[in-house]
Structure 1
């Protein structure tokens, strides 16, 4: 499949130079990088995280940031 992507000029130049140095193509570097990133994200699994809310209507305002983190991760109260 052919597609067009917009890369920052400095990143594109760095990638082209790296491809030339490794005697490969920019296409092959993109394929390898995308596969590695997709594999990495798949291996992470779902994030078990939820913000404490007031009856499902937004964050509990009486909590300070440390309490939000503690409750979100199910940690014991400090």
Structure 2
């Protein structure tokens, strides 16, 4: 696809000199540079952030020890399991 953009004269001259020195085209140099910038921006945005998901409950239920996975898992995977113990 062809696109027209405005580039300052000094930057264009520098880009043409660099392309000639590296034995490539201005087109290839611009494409490589734009691709590198887009990758850098994508990496910055890729961080996942948890949203606030609290719902105003009364906190942990009695008997749940947050340092012991199995105590919480019993209530999640087998409802009423604690009642039967």
Describe how 1:1-78 pairs up with structure 2 within 5 A: 1-45=1-45
The alpha-carbon deviation at position 46 of structure 1 amounts to 6.3
Structure 1 segments of 4+ aligned residues over 2 angstroms from their partners = none
Point out the structure with max Rg over C-alpha.
2
Gaps of 5+ in 2: 50-85
Higher relative contact order (CA 8 A, sep 6+): 1
Q: Output the CA distance in 2 between the equivalents of 1:31 and 1:45.
A: 21
The alpha-carbon deviation at position 3 of structure 1 amounts to 0.8
The alpha-carbon deviation at position 26 of structure 1 amounts to 0.3
The alpha-carbon deviation at position 45 of structure 1 amounts to 1.5
SS of residue paired to 1:2: coil
Greater share of helix = 2
Q: CA RMSD in A?
A: 1.6
TM-score normalised by the chain length of structure 1: 0.57
